């Protein structure tokens, strides 16, 4: 297995000369996420009696509440998968069209994509309800699912999740440590009112793609 620094160096090498489309991809994904989750956010804030939100027309709030899950399932979940895998395309093939590839990957076989992410979130939530630590561990175990779904179109969502768990056996702490190594960059980005995250997010996503490829290679060599 490569060290964290080697994985991050691979990510930086792929991003070199491609920061502009990477940042545009981050802007697109962030804007899409905010737009899609806005109805659910308004509904939740009104439920807690927050000022302004509790003054929204109840009929509008009901529409927001009823549409929240559908928007997440049919739009946010596929886009989440597509955004992750788009950075693997950048790393593996040098394809820097992050925004275009996010949409393309999200909506090709997109019901399967949506179900895969829904199950990952659902299983992680159920484990978290038992205790926070098992939820974190399972979240790490399921983390390769977006890449596996796209690399193995013959697998069902549950089969992709199971394969992710097998591949992550012995590597969950490696990924946790990789995430921790970005804390400094995230804190620094916060000093820019979050604007710096538009650079940190692609860096993290591409590093995650490098981690997947490394784990995949290790797994295939040990079958």
If DSSP states are collapsed to H, E and C, what string results for the chain?
CCCHHHHHHHHHHHHCCCHHHHHHHHHHHHHHHHHHHHHHHHHHHHHCCCCCHHHCCHHHHHHHHHHHHHHHHHHHHHHHHHHHHHHHHHHHHCCCCHHHHHHHHHHCCHHHHHHHHHHHHHHHHHHHHHCHHHHHHHHHHCCCHHHHHHHCCCCCHHHHHHHHHHHCCCCHHHHHHHHHCCHHHHHHHHCCCCCCHHHHHHHHHHHHHHHHHHHHHHHHHCC
Closest CA to 64 of 92, 34, 89, 39: 39
Residue found under tokens 């590839």: 101
Report residue 65's pLDDT band, with 50, 70 and 90 as the boundaries.
confident
CA distances from 66 to 39, 46, 72, 132 (A): 9, 14, 11, 29
Question: CB–CB of 177/196 below 8 Å?
Answer: no
Q: How confident is the model at residue 42 (pLDDT cuts 50, 70, 90)?
A: confident
pTM, two decimal places: 0.93
In this prediction, residue 78 carries a pLDDT of: 97
pLDDT score of 60: 83
Residue 109 C-beta-side C-alpha neighbours within 13 Å: 17
Confidence of residue 52 (pLDDT cuts 50, 70, 90): confident
User: Which two three-digit tokens encode residue 56?
Assistant: 């929204």
- Give percent above pLDDT 90 in the chain: 82
% of the chain residues with pLDDT over 70: 100
Report the domain count for the chain.
Answer: 1
Exposure pattern of 175-195 as b/e (b: 16+ CB <10 Å)? beebbeebeebeeebeeeeee
Q: What is the pLDDT of residues 140-197, one digit of tens each?
A: 999 999 999 999 999 999 999 999 999 999 999 999 999 999 999 999 999 999 999 9
Q: Residue range 38-67: average pLDDT?
A: 83
Which residue range(s) make up the domain with 113? 4-221
What integer best gives the mean pLDDT of the chain? 94
What is the pLDDT at residue 43?
85
């Amino acid at each position: 297995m490569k060290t964290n620094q080697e994985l991050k160096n691979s990510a930086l090498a792929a991003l070199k000369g491609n920061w502009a489309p990477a940042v545009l991809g981050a802007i697109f994904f962030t804007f899409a996420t905010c737009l899609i989750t806005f109805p659910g956010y308004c509904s939740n804030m009104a439920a807690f009696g927050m000022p302004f939100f509790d003054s929204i027309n109840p009929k509008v709030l009901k529409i927001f509440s009823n549409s929240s899950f559908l928007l997440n399932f049919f739009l946010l979940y596929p886009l989440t998968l597509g955004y992750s895998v788009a950075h693997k395309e950048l790393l593996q093939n040098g394809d820097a069209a992050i925004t275009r590839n996010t949409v393309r990957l999200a909506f090709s076989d997109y019901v399967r994509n949506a179900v895969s992410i829904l199950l990952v979130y659902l299983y992680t939530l159920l484990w978290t309800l038992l205790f926070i630590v098992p939820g974190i561990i399972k979240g790490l175990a399921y983390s390769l699912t977006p890449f596996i779904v796209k690399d193995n179109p013959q697998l069902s969502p549950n089969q992709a999740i199971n394969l992710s768990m097998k591949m992550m056996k012995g590597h969950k702490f490696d990924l946790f440590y990789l995430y921790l190594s970005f804390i400094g960059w995230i804190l620094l980005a916060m000093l820019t009112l979050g604007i710096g995250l538009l650079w940190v997010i692609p860096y993290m996503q591409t590093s995650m793609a490098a981690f997947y490829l490394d784990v995949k290679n290790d797994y295939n060599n040990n079958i």
